[in-house]
Amino acid sequence: MAQSPVGKWVSYEDYARLRSVAEDNKTECEATRIENASLKAEVERLKEDNRQLTNAFEIAEGIIKRMGKAAEAAAKEGKQS
pLDDT for 27-54, tens place per residue?
999 999 999 999 999 999 999 999 999 9
- Could you list the residue range(s) of the whole structural domain that residue 20 is in? 2-80
For residues 2 and 12, the answer to whether their CB atoms sit within 8 Å is yes
Total domains in the chain come to 1
- Percent of the chain, pLDDT > 70? 94
Residue 68: other Cβ atoms inside 10 A:
10
pTM: 0.59
Task: Give the chain's length.
Answer: 81
pLDDT of residue 70: 94
Residue 50, amino acid: N
For 10, phi then psi, to 5°, come to -130, 140
67/78 Cα distance (integer angstroms): 16
pLDDT of residue 62: 97
